[in-house]
Structure 1
Amino acid sequence: MRKALVVFSGGQDSTTCLGWAKNRFDEVETITFDYGQKHRVEIAQAQKIAHVLHVKNTLLSLDAFSQLNDSALIDGTQDIGAHHVTHTNLPASFVPNRNAIFFTLAHAFAQKQGIEHIIIGVNQTDYSGYPDCREPFVKALELALNLGSEANITFHYPLMHLTKAQTFELSRVEGVLDLVIDESHTCYNGVHTHKHAWGYGCGECPACVLRKIGWEAYTQGV
């Protein structure tokens, strides 16, 4: 039996990846991280989507990021649209080493559960400028984690080379487009009360703008 673990934020990308995984693996479960993010509604939406798709969701809590407080996703006093305070070439929403820690914990969890496939929604085409969303980083981390644990776990990243418009199309193909629109949460400001054609959000933060542009390109067939 082929088992897979989806690193699941409850956003557009990870919801698409969950649909992709369910159509390719015999057994799928998800893992979600509570790292003190101010858009905490994504945790509730992740649990809801997992329930709708009949997959187990495990929530892990991480206090360290709140203690470091080095991102506008955690520090509510920072401007989400500005540059990062310490990494001035990156957006304020960048959380240093977040993906490295998430993927490391997911790898450890997969070992415990006897899972040999991990699916992650990273993307280096239409992305927010995060260096830990690029393919060389993921491949290097996969190699290091397997070497360090004598494991043979494969990372899959089906969105890596897709535009946001293509990600919307993939969600349709995999049968989760309605869930992406109706339930997923991407907005950095945590707004889940106002629904647009492309889903819920403030419509102004970088995540919402990227999603809106992708939806417009998708609906226009670009």
Structure 2
Amino acid sequence: MTQKVVVIYSGGMDSYTVLHKALRDGHDVYALSFNYGQRHVKELKCAEQVCAELGVKHKIVDISAINQLLSGSSLTSDIEVPEGHYAADNMKSTVVPNRNMILLALAVGYADSIGARAVYYGAHSGDHFIYPDCRPEFVQKMNDVCQIANYEPVDIVSPYLAQTKIEILRDGLAMGLDYSKTWTCYNGREKACGKCGSCQERLEAFALNQAVDPLSYE
């Protein structure tokens, strides 16, 4: 039976794969994207284009006003995006305080309002070390809360929680997905920088899958 689900869809390669996984599983997908003031807002344009091509119902919600409360991240504040591979001391500045809890809470509210019983998001094992709100214990606790937060329970689903970005890409390539329709770079320029942690991780995933990244790099 077709199930109505909400997919938090940033426009990046992980959520792009999650979106297609939900569609391949036969769900009635409602994609939800957030403008939280991220400098890499180009990802939202990718999300919009993909959903239009797929005929997926899609909302982009502007919550950038919350930045007056959430300072200190290089993704949203006037702080230089660090270069180099992911490491706690290098990438901690890319943490947006409480971001996933906020986004999940909004997505669950949306899900409940349209009668969807699950919210999908793209946390993966490569994020566990740096981002507390991508760790299994966080997902489990959020799922526990979302079972009782409304009259009807809503499941928090992270299909790649135990997989790496390398494995996510491998799954997506097996599905025949076109990753030129995604955006990963933390810098909001015309081409991907190839130097920030997000670019480095993406390029590594393609290399280890013996595949060529279709994005253009500076």
- Residue in 2 that maps onto 1:161: 162
Please state whether the residue corresponding to 1:31 is helix, strand or coil.
strand
- The alignment status of 1:135 with 2:126, answered yes or no, reads no
What is the correspondence of 1:81-100 to structure 2 with a 5 Å cutoff? 81=82, 91-100=92-101
Q: TM-score, normalised by structure 2?
A: 0.87
CA distance in 1, matches of 2:17, 2:200: 18
In 2, are the aligned partners of 1:13 and 1:121 still within 8 Å (CA)? yes
- Residue in 2 that maps onto 1:185: 183
Deviation of 1:175 (Å): 3.3
Letter of the structure 2 residue corresponding to residue 65 of structure 1: I
Q: TM-score, normalised by structure 1?
A: 0.85
Deviation of 1:3 (Å): 1.1
CA distance in 2, matches of 1:190, 1:105: 25
Shift in CA distance, 216/127, structure 1 to aligned 2, threshold 3 Å: farther
Deviation of 1:34 (Å): 0.6
Aligned length, in residue pairs: 205
Deviation of 1:104 (Å): 0.4
Please state whether the residue corresponding to 1:147 is helix, strand or coil.
coil
- The alignment status of 1:8 with 2:9, answered yes or no, reads yes
Shift in CA distance, 89/79, structure 1 to aligned 2, threshold 3 Å: closer
- Residue in 1 that maps onto 2:81: 80
In 2, are the aligned partners of 1:126 and 1:162 still within 8 Å (CA)? no
CA distance in 2, matches of 1:53, 1:165: 25
Higher mean C-alpha deviation, range 59-68 or range 46-55: 59-68
In 2, are the aligned partners of 1:164 and 1:215 still within 8 Å (CA)? no
What is the correspondence of 1:195-214 to structure 2 with a 5 Å cutoff? 201-214=192-205
What is the correspondence of 1:29-44 to structure 2 with a 5 Å cutoff? 29-44=30-45
Segments of 5+ residues of structure 2 without an aligned counterpart are 212-218
Shift in CA distance, 97/141, structure 1 to aligned 2, threshold 3 Å: same
In 1, are the aligned partners of 2:82 and 2:91 still within 8 Å (CA)? no
Deviation of 1:174 (Å): 2.9
CA distance in 1, matches of 2:128, 2:145: 24
CA distance in 1, matches of 2:7, 2:174: 18
CA distance in 2, matches of 1:16, 1:39: 19
CA distance in 2, matches of 1:81, 1:89: 6
- Residue in 1 that maps onto 2:46: 45
Segments of 5+ residues of structure 1 without an aligned counterpart are 194-200
- Residue in 2 that maps onto 1:124: 125
